[in-house]
Amino acid sequence: MQNTYSLVFQPTPEIVAEISVLKERLATKIGWYNSKNSLAHITIGEFVASDEQLAIITKQVTRIADSVSAVPVILEHYGSYPNGAFFIAPNAISKQALVPIMKRFHKEIRFSITHKSVDPHVSIARKLTADKLIIANELFTSVAMHFLCEAVILRRFDVDAKQFEVIASFNFNGNTKMEVIQTSLF
């Protein structure tokens, strides 16, 4: 059976809770909206896989994560996209650190990733109308959150709950020894 999965960076439980409060504040002003119940995360990519394919992908993710070092992330401003997404974005230094890690997962996972993200952000809402985006921008003007990104999270989409659920976490160990060995063989 095929399932939809996503790879994400997830902030600390405290920041996840804080962002959930922000989402509730927005809901009191505009009503229900897309991503209202989604736990805070930064998407790396999404893919569809069978159980057998997932086992292979999990090994690849484990190997990549083992060689990545933890990255401090500072979430410092709100933004939006033309498609109606309203989000919290990291500062330039955090973005500069996260993007290469995201691209590395895209490149080294030898499986088709259907949705790739290279613009790190934490979505507050998606598919907002122009009027609702104005309300969101008026409601939220400043933000200052920080966390140590020290793992990548694998989530599976639950079709009944219509939400992704965490199924595995892969710690960043900063182990560059294996990476050096692999590159020296080629």
pLDDT for 176 equals: 84
Average pLDDT over residues 46-56: 96
**Tokens standing for residue 100:** 């290469």
User: Which are the contacts of 51, defined by CB distance < 8 A and separation ≥ 6?
Assistant: 1
pLDDT tens sequence across 89-130: 999 999 999 999 999 999 999 888 889 999 999 999 999 999
**Tokens standing for residue 109:** 């996972």
The domains of the chain, with CATH numbers, are: 3-74+89-123+148-184 (3.90.1140.10)
Question: Whole-prediction pTM value?
Answer: 0.92
Report yes or no: 73 and 90 within 8 Å, Cβ to Cβ.
yes
Give the C-alpha separation, 131 to 138, whole Å. Answer: 11
Give the C-alpha separation, 1 to 80, whole Å. Answer: 36
**Residue 180 pLDDT greater than 50, yes or no:** no
Helices 92-108, 51-67: crossing angle, 10 deg rounding: 130
DSSP 40: P
* Percent of the chain at pLDDT exceeding 90: 90
**Residue 40 CB burial class (10 angstroms; 0-12, 13-18, ≥19):** buried
Average confidence score pLDDT of the chain: 94
**Tokens standing for residue 146:** 């920080």
The three-state secondary structure class of 45 is: strand
For residue 34, the tally of other CB atoms under 10 A from its CB is 13
